[in-house]
Amino acid sequence: MNSLILFSIFIGLICVTVADLDTARKERVAAAEKCRDELNVSKADYEILYRKELPANEIQSCFLECICNKLGLFKDGKLDYSGFIKSIKVRFGEDQKELSKAEQLYSKCAPEVESASTGSEKCGAAKAMRGCVNNFSRDKHDHRDNSGSNF
């Protein structure tokens, strides 16, 4: 009987996690569509969402920044800690390894985003964030040990 109860709780947690991921995905899609419409983003510029490269123009940078603002990742031109961690937790739950990586990423990228947001480049915060995430991912990948796992 106890194992049936535990199994039911486990299934319930999985359903909640799947529902959270689905809700988060819908929020990301809605934010992207609103920003696309607000900024008149072309199909070609919209494709920046599916690539890891830096934005190639101001429209792409502003599009990404608009999405970050709508999702609560940016606040007042800065990478917002609570919004950032919330998005990580939706994706990875309470996985301490992923949360630790997120803390490292935040510590590395927050100053770069803030500096870019006060710079002369319009929508530079999103471009700085994309570059920082790419560099962080590359650094993590380059520092794998022989077993193939990160740090």
pLDDT at 35: 95
As a whole number, the mean pLDDT across the chain is 78
Token pair, residue 68, equals: 């970050």
Task: Give the residue from 75, 37, 61 showing the smallest Cα distance to 120.
Answer: 61
Do 70 and 31 contact (CB within 8 A), yes or no?
yes
CATH of domain 2-142: 1.10.238.20
**Which comes out higher in pLDDT, residue 55 or 5?**
55
What mean pLDDT comes out for the span 62-83? 91
**Which comes out higher in pLDDT, residue 97 or 139?**
97
Above 50 in pLDDT, residue 27? yes
Q: Tell me the C-alpha distance between 63 and 120, whole Å.
A: 17
